[in-house]
């Protein structure tokens, strides 16, 4: 097949591992596949069922080693923190501690092999299982005595190195120049170097005796890895000797520490391999995955020890020693590529190499120290007002600025821990969950369906495959059947995939086959792995037969749309990132400053994912399955905004105090001022997200996970947005300090942000009477039409419409199927019919009952069917007799009292007390028609059914019917959420008001700000209704729907409120600062608007750009979210903050500060002493 049909072969290579489609001599030969599946060599050294746990074992092993490393580093730092310890002594103790720890790890890895060798007289690669590598066995057989001699020499040299190297590390760190131990250290150093070099050369000779290719060969990559290790040991040893000759003792210690670190490669990898293979039974220590995971663990361990050690000693520079970090990073990345996937390896490279460059910059002395000056700074002005007075925060700010190296080490360790913890995030996110039904009146109905019926209606997925084109459709159908049966045999997620039956169509040019797949019974929408495997196989078949083959059922459209949404988010991020950087350069003045938000964004995303993984381990039913697109772009917008706040304030501080001796003070002052706004903004967002997560059953809808992700993500954004720029600026002034006045970046910065003329005109106009009253009223009047549109809003409960992207091929196939199929491609509605006893003497018991098989119950069923047909006649959701299926027979469209025994196993519960009635119609059971049907059922049909009573077995029973469709749950949840919405919004407003009042010591300023954002937020929802319900932007390609997705108001109201308050708080923080400096209120407002106007406008523009790309997502639910945020932030940035918020602050000044007493007004705008 690979030769005859390469396209088809490539599409089936990963899914089926053997091709059976279109080949005459092996068609339908599934026995061969079953035999291969049962063979342990079919998929490496293990069966398919034991593929996943190896990653968990390696992950926990990595965490254990990481914790040991952290303990060693903490002990090292604490041991060198005394006041009487000189810097040279600290450096020696750091390198000695790191070297001893790595040598001990390597020595421990060889202990099992050494013990077994002494007992058996033979060396084993896996000492616990007494196994040797095939290449070693072949070398022993082929070379005999020569191999044994070389192995003995290698053991002798390695033993001498492992005994003397720790002694050298201790004597080099603890002895003093001139004493006897230091002389022994110097003399023994050459002996140790000789033993190490000889051991490496003999080890290389042993490697050259092994076979590289063939079934018993190890391959080229392990050989290159061993040779790389030997070369680095020799190179660092020679470099150490060279540095001694040049009297460069500091570089000598670093080189010898690296030589020891590389020499432990074999022992450390053995130890990590033992950890991996011992936790999982049946996995060979020679398995490629075990070797790759061991390489990841030990490489990470050495990097976690050597990088902080070298950085804290200031010994990282652009010299030969940096090669150690580069090669170790390359090994780590390549091992991760083999261990997880190439994509993860590329991600690791994208993180590792910038961090390595950062570490190199941190250690370079020319960048770590500020040039000194003997001249005082004549431009130093008065001390800036401190808005942050909390001792803990001030101590943290001082630690970031005064101890940047230790802060860098802490940030790198936090980032590496987040990276390790977040590795299983995608797997856990897409893991199906079996959650309890929603806590509504249908909860008992759904439990009965799950417990009492052999087939759970919600656990069966119907997949319609549509074929159309000019070629023979029967031939394509046979190929599709082969694909389905092949996937069922080879893909774990497709084990329950079955070829069901053909679906009749009205179009002879199309052919429809229905497949069935058992899935987890849950309302959670997550991508299905089986559909992901079936999709490319169908595409390959269509290309080969030059026809069309696509899944066309509604669930397949939703699945493809979710996958498409994630892909679009990645593409949109690539497009938006350069645009955001370009905008930020205008505000911060340099490219290095503009790149810092990406570090903050990446670290924040990793932190949020790590916390989600931890919560998932504690609470397995935690659901965070919704797409990550909103999270990514919201955090990106906040990272860029907070970065602009910090760097713009830093530029202002440096322009006012340009002296070099004031550099660190400028960073600290920027943290105290911009940090106040950043912490306040992030705090308000966190409180808003937490309050918005208290809706009932929020975890089952997935919005609880999204709220928690946003909460944790905003926390990390606030943390990293303060820590990363401050640490980078403190350690690299040559990159982040303000340039000269002739620099193009400074000219651009002053042009865009230096109180331009348009801000002066607006500030003068908006703070003058009577415009301070007229302008806000005029803006509110402009919003009145949007409020009228909002009053006529319709909510959409159609899950298909919310999750179906028109950009996927399955959407067009579904539309064609709907037009050409005679039967419904939608999941039927279920009606649960119960017999409720009217007497308390009737007991359920454990024995099956036949009450629902009585004629009285059958008569009630027939009455229900007649009621359904009657109440839906001449409606858009008309239900005919052919659409109703029950246990009781139908003739000529009428229900008769004859049971159909063939349907009992499907429609009769196991206890015999309930029956099912299915309603199938060619309409979505989650659309507008289904909503109307549900309301008719609740208002008319169910009350009529409750009036039916019958007698069976001498007892009276009441007939009860309950409609169960996903839309019914949504309607019930919407009713409950509407009752809670006012209270949740009230709690949000109260909490935000308390925070603002506490921070500014003002009881009423929060009320002023809230009044300026309430009407605009309602107008923004009106605009959303106009776009998606009335089609205002249809000519731009934004397709109107049946309304706004019903969850949107409950999940976005608090976020819009927090975002609207964000920029108002930034404005008032500057007003508050100027007022405390002695300016009168109107002057403070004018100055604040002029100073923050360009910054807030630029920040809002960047946030608008970020939300624009959410708006462009093809998933309607995500697009509506992006549309709301896009127009909401735009209105707040360009209208509210410029025309309403300043005017509100000028109305009745005492409300801005009461009960606090601001200082007397001694300045007014313009003031001759105020720089223009």
Question: Which band of pLDDT confidence, cut at 50, 70 and 90, is reported for residue 146?
Answer: confident
Share of the chain above pLDDT 90, in %: 7
CA distances for 370 relative to 219, 310, 408, 732, angstroms: 51, 20, 17, 9
Confidence of residue 218 (pLDDT cuts 50, 70, 90): low
The model's pLDDT over 1072-1107, given as tens digits with 9 standing for 90+, comes to 888 888 888 888 888 888 888 888 888 888 889 888
CA pair distance 87, 1086, nearest whole angstrom: 52
Q: What is the mean pLDDT of residues 739-754?
A: 54
Q: Residue 1008 — very low, low, confident or very high, per pLDDT cuts 50/70/90?
A: confident
R_g of the chain computed on alpha carbons:
36
| Residue 715, pLDDT score | 94
**Would you give the DSSP letter of residue 1158?**
P
Spatial distance between the Cα atoms of 643 and 718, rounded to a whole number of angstroms? 10
- pLDDT reported for residue 1123: 92
**Residue 447, CA distances (Å) to 396, 429, 834, 1161 in order:** 53, 25, 13, 70
Q: What is the pLDDT of residue 1109?
A: 87
Higher pLDDT, 825 or 735: 735
Torsion of CA 674, 717, 997, 386, to 10 degrees: -30
* DSSP-derived secondary structure for 9-51: HHHHHHHHSS--SS-GGGTT-HHHHHHHHHSTTTBTTB-GGGS
pLDDT for residue 463 is more than 90 = no
Least confident of 349-353, 616-620, 843-847, 1011-1015: 349-353
Nearest to 724, CA basis, from 867, 597, 906, 849: 597
Q: Flag whether pLDDT at 115 surpasses 50.
A: yes
pTM comes to: 0.67
Percent of the chain with pLDDT over 70: 77
What pLDDT does 336 receive?
57
Residue 739, token pair as written in the block = 């340039």
Res 177 pLDDT > 80: no
Average pLDDT of span 759-776: 86
* DSSP secondary structure string for all residues of 454-509: SS-GGGEEEEEEEEESSS-HHHHHHHHHHHHHHHHHH-GGGTT-EEEEEE-BS-TT
Q: What is the pLDDT of residue 878?
A: 82
Mean pLDDT estimate for the chain: 77
Whether residue 1025 has pLDDT greater than 90: yes
Q: Can you give the pLDDT at residue 30?
A: 38
Greater model confidence, 802 or 452: 802
* Distance, first Cα to last Cα, the chain: 78
* Res. 862: pLDDT tops 60: yes
CA dihedral of residues 151, 152, 155, 161 (deg, nearest 10): -120
Whether 370 has a pLDDT exceeding 90, the answer reads no
- Output DSSP code: residue 952: E
Q: What is the DSSP letter of 851?
A: G
Best-predicted range by mean pLDDT among 444-458, 773-787, 912-926?
Answer: 773-787
Nearby residues of 855 by Cβ (< 8 Å), 6 or more positions away: 897
Look at the alpha carbons of 152, 153, 155, 159 in this order and tell me if their dihedral is positive or negative. Answer: positive
Average pLDDT over residues 879-905: 67
pLDDT of the residue at 721 = 93
* Residue 520 predicted with pLDDT over 70: no
Position 326 pLDDT exceeds 90: no
* DSSP summary character for residue 436: P
* pLDDT single digits (tens) 737-746: 876 554 444 5
Is the predicted pLDDT of residue 346 greater than 50, yes or no? no
- Residue carrying structure tokens 């694909």: 483
Integer Cα distance of 739 and 655 in angstroms: 10
> Could you give the angle at the alpha carbon of 210 between the alpha carbons of 207 and 213, nearest 5°?
120
Residue 349 has pLDDT above 80, yes or no: no
DSSP string, 505-571: BS-TTEEEEEEEEE----S-----HHHHHHHHHHHHHHHHHTSEEEE-SHHHHHHHHHHHHHHHHHH
Taking alpha carbons only, the member of 1044, 1050, 1046 closest to residue 982 is: 1050
pLDDT digits (tens, 9 = 90+) for 949-1007: 888 877 888 899 988 887 888 888 888 888 888 898 888 888 888 888 888 888 888 88
Mean pLDDT for the stretch of residues 597-609 = 92
H or E segment to which residue 336 belongs = helix 322-339
Distance CA 80, CA 100 (A): 16
Using the predicted structure, report yes or no on whether residue 432 has a pLDDT greater than 50: yes
pLDDT band at residue 1140 using 50, 70 and 90 as cut-offs: confident
Pick the range with the lowest mean pLDDT from 183-187, 340-344, 545-549: 340-344
pLDDT tens track for 930-948: 888 888 889 898 898 888 8
Asked if the model's pLDDT at residue 58 lies above 70, the reply is no
Q: Would the pLDDT of 18 be above 60?
A: no
Highest mean pLDDT among 459-463, 973-977, 1020-1024: 1020-1024
Residue 44 makes CB contacts below 8 A (sequence gap 6+) with 287, 288, 289
Q: Give the pLDDT confidence score for residue 330 in this predicted structure.
A: 67
pLDDT band at 1126 (very low <50, low <70, confident <90, very high): very high
CA dist., res. 744 & res. 64, Å (int) = 51
What is the spatial distance between Cα 674 and Cα 663, in angstroms, rounded to a whole number?
A: 16
Q: Residue 1037: what pLDDT?
A: 83
Q: How confident is the model at residue 496 (pLDDT cuts 50, 70, 90)?
A: confident
């Amino acid at each position: 097949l690979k030769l005859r049909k390469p396209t088809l072969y490539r599409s089936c290579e990963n899914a089926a591992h053997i091709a059976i489609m279109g080949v005459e001599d092996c068609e339908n030969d599934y026995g061969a596949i079953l035999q291969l599946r049962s063979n342990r060599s079919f998929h490496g050294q293990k069966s398919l069922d034991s593929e996943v746990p190896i990653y968990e074992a390696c992950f926990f092993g990595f965490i254990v080693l990481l914790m040991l490393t952290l303990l060693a580093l903490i002990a090292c730092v604490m041991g060198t923190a005394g006041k009487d310890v000189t810097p040279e002594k600290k450096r020696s103790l750091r390198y000695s501690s790191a070297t001893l720890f790595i040598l001990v790890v390597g020595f421990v890895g060889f202990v099992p092999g050494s013990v077994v060798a002494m007992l058996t007289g033979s060396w084993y690669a896996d000492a616990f299982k007494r196994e040797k590598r095939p290449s070693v066995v072949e070398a022993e057989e082929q070379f005999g005595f020569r191999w044994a001699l070389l192995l003995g020499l290698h053991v002798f040299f390695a033993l001498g190195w492992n005994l003397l190297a720790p002694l050298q590390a201790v004597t080099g760190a603890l002895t003093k120049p001139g004493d006897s131990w230091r002389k022994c250290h110097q003399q023994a150093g050459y002996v140790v170097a000789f033993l190490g070099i000889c051991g490496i050369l003999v080890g290389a000779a042993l490697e050259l005796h092994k076979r590289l290719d063939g079934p018993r060969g190890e391959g080229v990559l392990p050989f290159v890895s061993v040779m790389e290790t030997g070369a680095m040991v020799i190179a660092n040893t020679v470099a150490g000797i060279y540095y001694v000759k040049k009297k460069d003792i500091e570089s000598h210690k670093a080189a010898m520490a690296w030589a020891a670190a590389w020499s432990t490669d074999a022992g450390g990898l053995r130890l990590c391999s033992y950890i991996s293979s011992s936790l999982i039974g049946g996995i060979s220590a020679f398995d490629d995955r075990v070797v790759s995971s061991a390489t990841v663990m030990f490489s990470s361990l050495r990097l976690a020890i050597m990088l902080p050690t070298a950085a804290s000693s200031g010994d990282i520079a652009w010299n030969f020693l940096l090669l150690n970090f580069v090669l170790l990073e390359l090994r780590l990345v390549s091992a991760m590529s083999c261990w997880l996937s190439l994509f993860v390896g590329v991600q690791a490279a994208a993180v590792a190499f910038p961090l390595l460059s950062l570490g190199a910059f941190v250690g370079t002395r020319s960048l770590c120290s500020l040039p000194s000056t003997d001249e005082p700074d004549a431009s130093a002005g008065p001390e800036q007002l401190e808005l942050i007075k909390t001792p803990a925060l001030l101590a943290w700010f001082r630690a970031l600025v005064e101890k940047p190296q230790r802060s860098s080490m802490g940030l790198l360790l936090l980032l590496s821990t987040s990276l390790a913890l977040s590795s299983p995030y995608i797997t856990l996110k897409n893991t199906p969950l079996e959650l309890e039904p929603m806590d509504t009146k249908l909860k008992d109905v759904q439990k009965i369906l799950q417990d009492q019926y052999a087939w759970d209606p919600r656990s069966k997925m119907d997949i319609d495959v549509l074929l159309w084109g000019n070629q023979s459709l029967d031939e394509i159908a046979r190929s599709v059947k082969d694909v389905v049966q092949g996937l069922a045999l080879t893909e774990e997620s497709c084990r329950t995939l079955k070829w069901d039956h053909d679906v009749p169509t009205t179009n002879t040019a199309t052919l429809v086959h229905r497949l069935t797949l058992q899935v987890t019974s849950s309302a959670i929408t997550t991508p299905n792995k089986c559909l992901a495997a079936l999709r490319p196989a169908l595409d390959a078949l269509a290309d080969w037969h030059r026809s069309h083959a696509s899944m066309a059922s509604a669930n397949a459209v939703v699945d493809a749309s979710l996958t498409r949404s994630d892909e679009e988010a990645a593409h949109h991020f690539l497009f938006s990132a350069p645009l955001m950087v370009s905008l930020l350069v205008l505000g911060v003045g340099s490219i290095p400053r503009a790149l810092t938000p990406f570090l903050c964004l990446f670290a924040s995303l990793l932190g949020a994912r790590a916390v989600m993984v931890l919560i998932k381990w504690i609470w397995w039913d935690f659901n965070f399955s919704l797409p990550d697109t909103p999270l990514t772009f919201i955090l990106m917008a906040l990272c860029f905004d907070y970065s602009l706040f910090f760097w713009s304030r830093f530029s202002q501080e440096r322009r006012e105090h340009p002296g070099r001796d004031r550099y660190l003070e400028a960073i600290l002052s920027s943290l105290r001022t911009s940090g106040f706004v950043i912490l306040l903004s992030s705090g308000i967002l966190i409180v808003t997200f937490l309050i918005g997560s208290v809706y009932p059953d929020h975890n089952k809808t997935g919005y609880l996970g999204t709220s928690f992700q946003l909460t944790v993500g905003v926390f990390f954004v606030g943390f990293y947005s303060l820590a990363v720029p401050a640490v980078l600026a403190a350690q690299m002034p040559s990159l982040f300090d303000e340039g000269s006045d002739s620099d193009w970046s400074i000219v651009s910065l002053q042009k865009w942000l230096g109180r331009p003329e348009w801000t002066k005109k607006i500030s003068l106009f908006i703070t003058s009477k009577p415009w301070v009253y007229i302008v806000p009223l005029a803006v509110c009047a402009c919003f009145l039409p949007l409020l009228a549109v909002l009053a006529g809003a319709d909510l959409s409960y159609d899950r298909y419409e919310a999750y179906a992207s028109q950009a996927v091929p399955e959407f067009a196939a579904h539309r064609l199927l709907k037009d050409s199929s005679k039967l419904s491609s939608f999941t039927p509605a279920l009606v649960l019919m119960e017999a409720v006893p009217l007497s308390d003497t009737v007991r359920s018991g454990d024995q099956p009952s036949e009450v629902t098989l009585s004629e009285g119950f059958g008569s009630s069923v027939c009455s229900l069917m007649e009621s359904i047909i009657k109440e839906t006649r001449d409606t858009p959701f008309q239900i005919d007799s052919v659409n109703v299926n029950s246990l009781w027979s139908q003739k000529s469209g009428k229900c008769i009292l004859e049971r159909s025994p063939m349907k009992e196993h499907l429609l009769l519960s196991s206890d015999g007390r309930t029956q099912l009635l299915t309603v199938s119609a060619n309409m979505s059971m989650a659309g507008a028609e289904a909503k109307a049907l549900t309301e008719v059922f609740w208002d008319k049909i169910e009350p009529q059914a409750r009036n039916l009573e019958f007698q069976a077995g001498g007892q009276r029973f009441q007939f009860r019917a309950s409609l169960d469709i996903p839309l019914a749950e949504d309607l019930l949840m919407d009713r409950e959420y509407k009752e809670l919405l006012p209270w949740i919004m009230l709690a949000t407003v109260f909490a935000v008001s308390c925070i603002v009042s506490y921070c500014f010591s003002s009881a009423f300023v929060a009320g002023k700000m809230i009044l300026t954002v309430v009407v605009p937020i309602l107008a923004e929802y009106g605009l959303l209704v106009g776009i998606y319900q009335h089609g205002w932007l249809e000519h731009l390609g934004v397709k109107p729907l049946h309304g706004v997705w019903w969850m949107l108001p409950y999940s976005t109201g608090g976020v819009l409120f927090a975002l609207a308050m964000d920029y108002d708080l930034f404005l008032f923080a500057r007003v508050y600062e100027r007022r405390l400096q002695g300016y009168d209120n109107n002057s403070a407002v004018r100055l604040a608007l002029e100073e923050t106007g360009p910054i807030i406008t630029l920040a809002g523009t960047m946030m608008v750009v970020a939300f624009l790309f959410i708006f462009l997502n093809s998933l309607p639910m995500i697009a509506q979210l992006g549309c709301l945020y896009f127009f909401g932030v735009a209105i707040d940035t360009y209208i509210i903050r410029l025309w309403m918020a300043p005017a509100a602050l000028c109305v009745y000044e005492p409300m801005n500060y009461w009960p606090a007493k601001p200082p007397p007004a001694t300045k007014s705008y313009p003031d001759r002493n105020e720089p223009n």
